[in-house]
Chain A
Amino acid sequence: MELLNGFYTIFTTPETLMFVVLGSILGVIVGAVPGLTASAAIAMLVPITYYIDPLSALAFLYVIGKAGRFGGSISAILFNTPGTTAAAATVIDGHALTKKGQAGKALKTATTASVIGDYVGEFMLIFGALTIAQLTRELGPPDYFAIYVCAFLIIGSVISDSVLKGIASTLFGATLAMIGLDPITSEPRYSFGMVELYNGFSLVPLLIGMFVISEVFAQVQAARSGQAHHDEIAARKPEDDQLSWAEIKRCLPFIGRGSFIGALVGLIPGVGSAVACFVAYGSSKAKAKNKDEWGKGAIEGVAAPEAANNAVSGPSMIPLLALGVPGSTIAAMLMGVFLIHGIQVGPKIFETSGDIVYGLFAAGLIGIALYGLIGWFLGPVIGRVIDKVPQRLIYPTILAVALISAYTARSSMFDVLVACIFGLIGYFMRTLNFSPAAAIIAFVLAPGAEQALRQSVLLTDDGFGIFLHRPVALIFFAIPVIAIGIRIIGRMRARKAAPAELQT
């Protein structure tokens, strides 16, 4: 019933309600602007929140995070550039739908899936936080290492058509992550004497380079070679802008699957939306009946990853609130806001600051509905407006905004240079069919995996034997092995069946 009190607080405090509304609008915008991620926007806004009351401050940033995860799908669908890592999997089918003239349909699918996924995650947070926190509390470095390995293998096997190129891209990302402070000895590694590399590359310029700038290059090349075809975003038929009830029903199982995967991934500190969306995409594709359509514009291919990336949002707050461990960049910044307002995160927060916590939950629930409305009604409109703007204006603008975003994250020209260099690298990776997304995800996951592994070995005298005594770790090691095994058996059967078909 504290939740009802939370709603009461928000609806009776116009200021807080205003920040929730503002947060959902702003979140969708920053998410949709290529290169400006929700976490970068939150980093810029954190100082402002010191001057407003704690509930408004937290609600504002929390809702930006949620709406931003959804907003990323807009640029993914319209421009083939994910606005955030969370939308990296949405590009595949989302942009294919745009090319078919069904941008409106794709945006509505993304909205529906994001909203449902977000609610699933949020309810898990509200009703299960303390119980779940008890379970995750027992996880130590060996278990986390197993979880990372599981994530690596599952993503590596689904992200690219060519397994070898997928692995190569993953290794490239992991290598980039080696630059910076060694997690155990705290010595700078591969920093080449540059103080800017002391802590390694930061994610934002890398993201901007690999996803945004490389796409701009690809568009320039397309225009040069005369292949530029103006993506038809305006609906050809009225129903292309609509999402029918039958289509929603078709997507529901995939939304459910995506939400479940996203919520589970959210619980694990340091893994996050980018992993959730690809795991959801890959495993849903494997289960889909219309597998052939995936990648060419299947709405299910938008629904699954979009549900997953938003379902991450709620559960990722569980380790922060209940254990004081920030599970994501956004959570880490929220922790700072709690701190400055004198609220101690940790197991006692539900007793000591219950009103704020439940107010925050209520704000989350309201925020989801708000960005859902924005996405549903404005998505197709945005699509049509963008269509009126000539492409020779769109991509230069995107490039300029991307470079500004790269600079503002740390007020650093070095980061702008990094973004440009990785723009070139990303462009060549695309033309050679390597996967920039796999590289980025590996870059995000590798530091955690390395630290967990090296801590595990330090925690015991029997070296790698420590994993044998950890049932949770063994389960997570087994998951990808079984999944990949099933796939290999499936392929072998298909191969046996194929010649038979040819003969007939």
Chain B
Amino acid sequence: MTKLGWMKSLAAGAALTVAGTMVQADSFPERPIDMIVGFKAGGGTDTYARALASAAEAHTGGQPVVVVNKPGGGGLVGGRFVADQPPTGYTLYLASAGSIVLKNLIKPQVVSTDDFKMVGTIGELTAGIFVPAGSPIQSLDELLEAGKSSDTALRWGHTGRGNVWHMAGLGVLNPNDVKAKDVPFKGGSGVRAALASSEVDFGVMGAHLGLGFEDEVRLLAVLSNDTHPAAPDAPTAKSLGIDFIPVSSQMIVMAPARTPDEVVAQLSEAIVAITQDSAYLDTLNTAGLPTASVNGADTAANIDTSKVEWGKLLEGLE
């Protein structure tokens, strides 16, 4: 498949030289669009890309969206690749913007959100704060209280320092002055396993990961403003009136920075339409992954806000 994608981009490159600058906004798109995913097939980002591709044709004038996996560098290799492609709108990048923004706030990386124009948000993974099922702690309030009063620091699991879920955890711990020791695990499944065997006192991971594990872990609250589709009964940090900074992993489609504005606007319109298509919604709902439908301009504004908010959080880190 990857080979096919490579051949396609080669063919696309050849077509481009022939067509020159004749690409006109009104005939866009006139050939398949490549959607680059910075991770291997089968991961969460990939699932979003496949769902998008499966519903795309009806909204792109019959042109398919082809998912191409270019893993490496925590997703950044694929991002750098797209940033270097001709800015025609035929090569797009799908990534968790949260992860790229955080990585760049910590240290400048090979690629940042400044290398792209935002096309639209297609999903948003939000964090859940969990305790082991056998834990005496029943609510987020009790947990924060326990964190403040306990003589020995509580231990909590997350998916890696500087990762979105680590920040989401700090986003609720720091404003409430809770000091806890963090232990990074490999991926959400690692955090979940550590919770199931009570290695840690609490953990922060994607809120959807509790699905099917109700006998092992207890979701105390979703760390966002809105309820989560995979856990509609769980309270949100906002509904509990708890002070927190929301950190989420937004799945964002991006185009190289020099892509013409009218092409981006057309793509943005298509993305909004696809993300409201029932084929797209059904696929992701069965997978328990939350969808979103935000146009390019609002996506860019959200990212700018996040950069400021998250920058404050990171200052708290050594």
Residues of A within 8 A of B (CB): 43-48, 50, 137-141, 181, 183-186, 195-196, 198-199, 323-326, 332-333, 335-337, 339-342, 344-349, 352, 408, 410-412, 451, 455, 458-459, 461
Which of chain B's residues 171-206 have a Cβ closer than 8 Å to chain A? 181-186, 189-190, 192-194, 196-197, 199-200
Q: How far is the CA of A326 from the CA of B189 in the complex (A)?
A: 8
Residues A140 and B194 in contact, CB atoms below 8 Å apart: yes
Q: Is B307 an interface residue (CB 8 A)?
A: no
Beta-carbon contact of A199 and B41 below 8 Å: no
List A contacts of B185 (CB < 8 A).
455
For A43, the chain B residues whose CB sits under 8 A away are 40-41
Partner of B40, one of A333, A341, A352, A461: A333
Verify A345–B196 contact, CB threshold 8 A. Answer: no
Segment of B42-50, B84-92, B292-300 engaged in the interface with chain A: B42-50
- For window 256-278 of B, CB contacts with A under 8 Å fall at none
Contact between chains at B2 and A44 (CB < 8 Å): yes
Contacts of B110 in A (CB 8 A): 195
Quick check: is B315 within 8 A (CB to CB) of the other chain? no
Residues of A within 8 A of B193 (CB): 137, 323-325
Q: A141-B194, A408-B2, A411-B3 are in contact. List 6 more A-B contacts (CB 8 A).
A: A46-B41, A140-B197, A181-B160, A184-B184, A195-B76, A335-B189
A333, closest chain B residue (CB)? B42
- Contact yes or no, A183 B197, CB < 8 A: no
**Bound-complex Cα distance A181 to B107 (A):** 14
Q: Give Cα A335–Cα B190 distance, bound, in whole angstroms.
A: 14
**Residue with the highest number of chain A CB atoms closer than 10 Å, among B2, B194, B285, B288:** B2
- Contact present for A410 and B155 (CB under 8 Å): no
Shortest 5 CB-CB contacts between residues of A and residues of B: A336-B42, A342-B286, A344-B212, A198-B73, A346-B212
B77 engages A344 (CB within 8 Å): no
Q: Point out the residues of chain A lying under 8 angstroms from B14, CB to CB.
A: none
Q: Which of these, B41, B162, B196, B197, contacts A333 with CB under 8 Å?
A: B41
Report if B67 contacts A (CB, 8 A).
Answer: yes
Residues of A within 8 A of B184 (CB): 183-184, 186, 455
Q: Which residue of B lies closest to A348 (CB)?
A: B212
In the bound complex, CA of A336 to CA of B43 (Å): 6
CB closest chain-A residue, reference B284: A342
Query: Which residues of the other chain, A, contact B41 by a CB distance below 8 angstroms?
Result: 43, 46-47, 333, 336
Contact-size category for B: 35 or more
Known: A48-B1, A411-B3. A186 touches B163 (CB 8 A): yes
CB of B212 within 8 A of CB of A345, answer yes
Are B216's CB and A347's CB within 8 A? yes
- Chain B residues positioned under 8 Å from A348 (CB to CB): 212-213, 215
CA distance A199 to B76 in the complex (A): 10
Could you say which residues of chain A place their CB within 8 Å of the CB of B189? 324-326, 335
B183 A455 Cβ-Cβ under 8 A: yes
Assess whether B47 is in contact with A339, with CB atoms less than 8 Å apart.
yes
Q: Contact: B155 with A459, CB < 8 Å?
A: yes
CB-CB under 8 A from A339, the residues of chain B are: 42, 44, 47, 287
Q: Is B3's CB under 8 angstroms from A459's CB? A: no
CA distance A199 to B40 in the complex (A): 13
Distance, CA A198 to CA B70, complexed state (A) = 14
Identity of the chain B residue whose Cβ is nearest the Cβ of A335 in the assembled complex? B42
In the complex, are the beta carbons of B72 and A410 less than 8 A apart? yes
Cβ contacts A to B, 24 pairs, < 8 Å: A45-B1, A47-B50, A185-B161, A186-B163, A195-B72, A198-B73, A323-B193, A324-B189, A324-B212, A325-B193, A332-B42, A339-B44, A340-B47, A340-B287, A341-B286, A342-B287, A345-B212, A347-B216, A348-B212, A352-B212, A408-B3, A411-B6, A455-B183, A455-B185
Q: Assess whether B67 is in contact with A199, with CB atoms less than 8 Å apart.
A: no
Interface-central residue, B181, B186, B285, by most chain A CB under 10 Å: B186
How far, in whole Å, are A1 and B131 apart by their CA atoms in the complex?
Answer: 36
What is the CB-to-nearest-CB distance from A262 to chain B, in angstroms, rounded to a whole number? 23
Contact: B42 with A411, CB < 8 Å?
A: no
Are the CB atoms of B47 and A336 closer together than 8 Å? yes
| CA A139 to CA B193, docked complex, whole Å | 9
**Are the C-beta atoms of A47 and B1 separated by less than 8 Å?**
yes
Of B69, B182, B184, B288, most buried by chain A (CB within 10 Å of CB) is: B184
Contacts of A345 in B (CB 8 A): 212
Question: A195-B77, A455-B185 are contacts. A349–B46 as well, Cβ < 8 Å?
Answer: no
A199 CA to B73 CA in the complex, in Å?
5
A411–B2 touching, CB < 8 Å: yes
Contact call A199/B1, Cβ cutoff below 8 A: no
Which B residues are in CB contact (< 8 Å) with A349?
A: 212
Question: Would you call B162 and A451 a contact (CB within 8 A)?
Answer: no
Q: Which residue of B lies closest to A340 (CB)?
A: B47
Q: How far is the CA of A408 from the CA of B41 in the complex (A)?
A: 13
Cβ A140 vs Cβ B199 within 8 A: yes
- The yes or no answer to B152 lying at the interface (CB within 8 A) is yes
Closest Cβ of chain A: how far from B288's Cβ, in Å? 7
Q: Is B71 an interface residue (CB 8 A)?
A: yes
Q: Is B211 an interface residue (CB 8 A)?
A: yes
Chain B residues contacting A337 (CB-CB under 8 Å) are 42
Chain A, Cβ-Cβ closest to B9: A411
Minimum CB–CB distance for A3 against chain B, Å: 22
Chain B positions 1-15 with a Cβ under 8 Å from a chain A Cβ: 1-3, 5-6
Which of A198, A333, A336 is close to B76, meaning CB atoms less than 8 Å apart? A198
Report the separation of the CA atoms of residues A139 and B212 in the bound assembly, to the nearest whole angstrom: 20
Alpha-carbon distance A341/B213, docked complex (angstroms): 18
Residue pair A138, B155 in contact (C-beta under 8 Å): no
> What is the CB-to-nearest-CB distance from A189 to chain B, in angstroms, rounded to a whole number?
13
Say whether A410 contacts B161, CB under 8 Å: no
* Given the contacts A323-B193, A344-B212, A347-B213, A336 and B46 also touching, CB distance less than 8 Å: yes
